[in-house]
Chain A
Amino acid sequence: MFSSDILIQISPYLWLTAGAFVVLALGLFVQNEKKPLFVLITCMFLLLSILSMFCIGDPVYIMNGLLLHDKFGCWFAVLLLVSLFVVVMMIPYQTKLVAEYPSAVLSLLLMSACGGLFMIFSNHLVVFFVGLELLSIPLYVLVGLGHHKGKSSEASFKYFLLGAVAAAVFIYGTALIWSSTSSMRIDELFEIFRSPLYQTLPKTFWFGLSLVVVSLLFKLGVFPFHFWIPDVYEAAPASINAWMSTASKIAVVGVLIRLFYMFPVLDSFEPEHVTSKWMITMGVFSIFSMMWGSIGGLYQKDFKRLLGYSTISHMGYVLMFISSTFGKSYDETFEVLFFYLCIYVIANLVMFLLISQSEEKQDVTVDNCKGLVTSHPVIALGFAFGLLSLAGLPPFAGFVAKFKLFYFVIGQGGIYLVIFAILSSIISVVYYFRILANMFLEDGHTTFQVQQEGRRIWLILFLAFLLILFGILPQIVQNWLF
C-alpha cells in the first residue's frame, strides 16, 4: 500500500513525530539531570528531518492532494527546522524550562515543528487547520513555563483563549468556503479563481475567506489582531520566544503567499475589483501594524516586550509586501520574501537567545543593560548586530532585506505604503537606538548575568556574524537558493 516513494516524501514528518515520542519516552527512563542526552537526541532527529527535506524536489501532490511538496515550501520548512535546531542547541540547561521537564519541552518543540511543516506544505484547509493547532497547542503550554509564575500563566491562558477563538474562526471560515464551493483544496479553489466562475461566487465564500485570513493574521500578529503579542512575549521564556517568533511567522507567511496567489492579476487598478479591495485592506492593516509596532515600542521597559512590538512592525512590512503580491506566483516573490524572513529569523534568534542566557537570574530590561559592553563585550556585540539588523542599517543584512522589499513594493506601485514603512523605520530606530545607547554609550554597571559563559555563545555570535556577512554579500544567499 505504502510505496517507498511516499515514505520518502513524508519522512520529514515521520522523523519529527518519531523524535517527539522517543524523547518523551526517554523521559520515563532517564533522569532529568542528563539533559545533554535529551538535547542530543532531539538534534539528531531534527537533523534527520532536515536532511530528508532535500529528497523533496519537483512539485508533487501527495496523500490524495492533501499536501503539496515543492521547492519553495521546502525552503520555508528548512528555515523553520534550522531555527528550531538553533533554539534547541541554545536552551540554557539551568533554566526551569529544561531543568524540570526536559523531555516534555523538547518533544513539544518537535511536535510544534511538525505542525509548522504541515502548515507550510498543506494544500487542504483541514490539513492546514491540523497543522495550525499542532503548532499552537505546544506553544500555549510552553509559554506558561516562564519563570514568572503568575504572569506566565496569565499570558499562556490569554494566548490559548485568543488562539482558540482564532481557530474557531478559521474552522467557521473553512465551513463557509466549503459550503459555497464544495471544495477545501487550495489548488481547486485556485482553479475556480482563475476561471470566470469566480465572479459568480456567493458572498458567503468571501466571508469565509476573510475569516480564514483573519485567523492567519492573528497568528502573524498584525494589526488589528496584535494585542496578544506584547503580553505573551513578555511572559514567555526567552528560548520559547525565539521559537514562537520564528516558527509561526515562517509558516503563516508561507501560506498567505500561497493563498493570495489565487487572486486574479490586476491589469489596471479598479477600486471595485475583488483583488484591489483585498489589496487595500491588507495595505491598511500593514500601515497600522507598522506604525503601531514602532510607536508602541517607544515607551517599553521590558526588553522582550519591546521585541514584541518590533515583531509587530516587522510583520507589518511583510504584510505590506504580501499586499502587493496578489496574483503573483512564488517565482517572482519568493526570493525577496525568503531573504527578508531569513534575516528576520536570524536577528530574532540572536536577540532572544542572548536574552535567554540571563533572564532567570534577572529580568532583562532596557535599563539594566547599561554598560553591558564593559562587562560582557561579546554579548553586547551580538545584541548590537541583531538590533542594527532589525533597525535596517547598512551594512547589516536587515538593510539589504528591507531594500529588496521596498524595491519590490515600489515596483508594484506601492510608494505610499513604502513611505509609511520608512516613517515607521525612523520611529522604531529610536527604540533600537535607546537599547544600543544603554549598552555602548552609557556608563553604569549592568545586572545582566550570563548563566553559562561558554562555547555556546559563539554559536549565537556566528549567527550575528551571518547578519553582517549577508549584508555585505547578499549574493551568497541568492546564488545558493537559485
Chain B
Amino acid sequence: MKADKTLDCVGFYCPMPIVKTSEKIKELKPGEILEIIADDKGIKQDMPAWCQTTGHEFVGMEEAGGEIRVYVKKTHQ
C-alpha cells in the first residue's frame, strides 16, 4: 500500500507506537495516509481501537516476517 509518511516503531512496546502515532499524524494533511511499522503484536488490536476513538480511518494491515505494517488515513485536523 502507498503511504504519504512512514513511522518506524520497530522495537517499541505499548504504549510507544500509539504515542508516536498520535504525534506523527499531526504532520499529515487530511486525506493522507500514514504507514506505521511495528513488531509488537498488540498494535493489531491497538491501532483499530485508536482509530475508533480518534476518528481517523483504519485502512489496513499487512504482516510479513514478524513486521506489522498498519495504514491509517488522517480524516480531520
Asked if A and B bind, the verdict is no
